[in-house]
Structure 1
């Protein structure tokens, strides 16, 4: 019995090794890992990316119809993009907030996040997590001596962990071909204190040659892996087969509609009709059947009708609806076309419909926070080495806000009825357009001082003296 599993068990394994020093000392093992990633892991990642882009492989690559004269439509349905974009928007549609209790440190972290467009960067990480089941981030200092972080291509990146139960990262690997020379493969390895630049021009042995070596000062592997879940599965990976079935069903429906236009016309009976007359009738879309006398002298019967494959409309449409519903159910994403989903429902009632997605979000959020703390731990390390001030990573507060419709009006009205009052800072924090309430209060105070009327007390004093002299 053949194995119908879509991806090999090797397609999503973690790479493990004893230590970074031993790995650099045994470059053949490093080369084997790169080759393994190219052969087993990259095809899975490429397939997941193809489905996200709407290039659904099964419907586009399968040999579906043998008859050349029949229609062969290949309809792809981008459920994958719908799932990932919905989850991305739900998680970070409202940008996550990071803050530190020390205002000076808080300001430094805000500056770093602004330089790196952290909101967009975090959103890209969440999207990669959803598509591939993992995402990678690289930290570095640029020529302006700024701390920067960027996303890496998942298809060309992996992290190597030690062989302990803690699975500590010992190296991050990024490899890519030269844009104008496919024979040259560049392999860059980051350990906890060095960056190694290897190159190989042998496509068969992949023998690595060290081209450059330099230090970095992050005191940790600057490539961070963001896992989507324990098994590093993408959010729609489980339903790829269901997407294929839906593509096939819709394509068959389209083929039927096209083939109906090319149905065979069958004329029964002894008809006095030549080819030229039949062609004229076809152009006029009208058939006049004139029968000939039969052997018994009586007029024979004639009939014309098309032959085509019968289509079970209700059964086929119910089948496609069931497939679409299963895709939404198993990805924990709502069907927005469901008339019972939205409408005039309150935010609280919608939370129950998103209960399954909430469970997924809690898992993704915990893993994302863990990787984020690794990011700020490395930032703290390099800031400390550069005498730019350090901080305790555990004091950083990371807050996710689900992008969910809220009845804020009802909540505020209930709060006011109960006699509650809010500070100005809390009131401003409710507004989504205000990123930092404290900064906004400072701006308001500065504007008030600027607009405050000024008085020339010397002028008033002189006027008082003039009045006194006149009185005398």
Structure 2
């Protein structure tokens, strides 16, 4: 491949003022015949890196800005033409709300991995604890939601441990082959020095890590090469959906509209305080007197007599733009509802979204979110198995054991609010019982159940066990009464 699919080199720019917010190539996959060919043709690798910087990074930065409540459209310069008028900028963190909600809904309850063999299962658990996998997976889901993609880097630490970490989306991408299977052939990370203009490029293939220095002319200079034993590209991409679209990306324009509407409302309230005073009539008053009266919130109008000696009428009021309160608020509510509808997130301010419904009732209202979650979950599991496949490869080489990746069970639990009362009642009806420590742990006033049990035991030395029974059901009470009658 002499050229990378004839990639353009950003001869045009896209902004929110144009018809499209992002470049048409802002979310494309990079593809190349093989890693060996890519290493031989560093010019091609240079073109891909340049394309990523100029076409894909601007989109990613915009999505990050909207997540961090730095909404670009409302913060643009010269929003209002009149310099003397108020120019408030109301910014709404819808991006943060949507992505945090998705993160909490998917992995608020940490996902579970299980393996049939106890020894292998314990090794996987130890590895997850070493890497703090719960927090790591949560960060992956958040990046997925914001950018539509997330990247994970696997490596062997100096302590000879298998580690995996998040790789920044703005400086990472994966190159796939040209087959229908679209297998990864290489992963790229380019790091810009914080205090210098130096850029270091790391190219990860299935067996080596090559380090390059990137010059101002995008020319790559080979610096180092190190082998690794993962037998696969150790950078794994987690896609949010088929199109690698962020969860709030499609409603960026609606967020802008809501920001504008709220800002205009605030500006109206400020401008109303500075409204222009209009006085009608032939007045016997000069400008200085009028200013003094206005300063003291008093306006005394005295008209001059006409030719016939009669006094004309005088009137004073303020000139300001009329504000349709009902129409404006309805407009803002409609935009807000559209944002929630198209992102499949609940509007908790909606009166119809009751807070006392059961988890089952909420599932019907969150049906669209459930469909979205199932797609995100399938893609996450696919990439997660790639992680454990690479881990299995290096564990086999290091004689640390091996396992069948397809045997790993990955379980997601949607984080829905549940009624503890209903759960306990169902448990009791099934004949279940709980330990005293567990029962005490359900009370918010008890910080340490074990310590509370010790206190009870010390206060009642003759009592060996303390029993906190749940209320018995009506059927049980009737049976006890029947036994008493027989006696």
State if a TM-score over 0.5 links the two structures. Answer: yes
Q: CA deviation at 1:227?
A: 0.1
User: How many angstroms does 1:415 deviate by?
Assistant: 4.8
What's the counterpart of residue 209 of structure 2?
195
SS at match of 2:79: coil
* Mean Cα deviation higher: 47-56 or 342-351: 342-351
Q: Secondary structure of 1:41's match? A: helix
Aligned counterpart, 1:308: 320
Classify the secondary structure of the residue corresponding to 1:94. Answer: coil
> Take 2:432 and 2:316, find their aligned partners in 1: how far apart are those partners?
83
Instruction: State how 1:330-369 maps to structure 2 within 5 Å.
Output: 330-369=342-381
Partner residue, 1:8:
23
Check the 8 A contact 1:246/1:323 in 2, yes or no.
yes
Match of 1:456 in 2: none
Name the residue aligned to 2:456: none
Q: CA contact under 8 A between 1:342 and 1:350: conserved in structure 2?
A: no
Q: Counterpart of 2:473?
A: none
**Alignment match of 2:97 (pick from 65, 82, 89):** 82
Does residue 1:58 correspond to 2:70, yes or no?
A: no
- Could you tell me how far apart the structure 2 residues matched to 1:207 and 1:395 are? 45
Q: Helix, strand or coil for the counterpart of 1:160?
A: strand
Once the two structures are overlaid, the 10-residue window that deviates more, 222-231 or 286-295, is: 286-295
Q: Give yes or no for the alignment of 1:269 onto 2:281.
A: yes
> Are 1:222 and 2:245 an aligned pair?
no
Aligned counterparts, 1:128-207, within 5 A: 128-182=143-197, 184-201=198-215, 203-204=216-217, 206-207=218-219
User: Per the alignment, in what secondary structure is the counterpart of residue 140 of structure 1?
Assistant: strand
Q: Which has the larger share of helix?
A: 1
Alpha-carbon spacing, 1:422–1:385, altered in 2? closer, same or farther (3 Å): farther
Q: Which runs of 5+ in 2 are unaligned?
A: 1-16, 443-487
Distance in 2 (CA, whole Å) between partners of 1:129 and 1:9 is 20
Question: Is 1:235 paired with 2:254?
Answer: no
Residue pairs, 1:387-406, within 5 angstroms? 387-406=399-418
Residues 107-138 of structure 1 deviation map (CA, whole Å, 9 limit, x = unaligned) = 11111111111111000000000000000000
**d(CA) in 2 for partners of 1:31, 1:210:** 12
Corresponding residue pairs, total: 423
Tell me, what secondary structure is at the counterpart of 2:141? helix
Separation (CA, whole Å) in 1 of partners of 2:214 and 2:152: 24
Tell me whether 278-287 or 241-250 shows the greater mean CA deviation.
278-287
Structure 2 SS opposite 1:57: coil
Displacement of 1:102 in angstroms is 0.9
Aligned to 2:387: 375
Who is 2:6 aligned against? Answer: none
1:361-409 CA distance string (max 9 Å, x none):
0000000000100001111111111011111111111110011012354
1:65 is displaced (CA, Å) by 1.3
Deviations 1:257-281 (A, max 9, x none): 1111111101110112123322221
Deviation of the 1:9 alpha carbon: 1.5
What CA distance in whole angstroms lies between the structure 1 residues aligned with 2:423 and 2:84? 64
**RMSD, aligned α-carbons:** 1.8
Q: Aligned to 1:271, what secondary structure does the other structure show? A: coil
Aligned to 1:33: 48
Gaps of 5+ in 1: 433-472
Q: 1:25 to 1:301 in 2, by over 3 A?
A: same
Structure 2 CA distance for aligned equivalents of residues 348 and 23 of structure 1 = 52
Counterpart-to-counterpart distance in 2, 1:306 and 1:4: 40
User: Structure 2: how far apart are the matches of 1:378 and 1:299?
Assistant: 97
Deviation per residue, 1:12-36 (Å, 9 max, x gap): 0000001000000000000000000
1:259 aligns with 2:274: no
- Equivalent position SS for 1:212: strand
Q: 1:332 to 1:25 in 2, by over 3 A?
A: same
| TM-score, structure 2 as length reference | 0.84
| Rounded Cα–Cα distance in structure 2 between residues aligned with 1:88 and 1:272 | 70
The CA deviation at 1:343 is 2.3
CA distance in 1, matches of 2:390, 2:354: 43
Matched, 1:386 2:398: yes
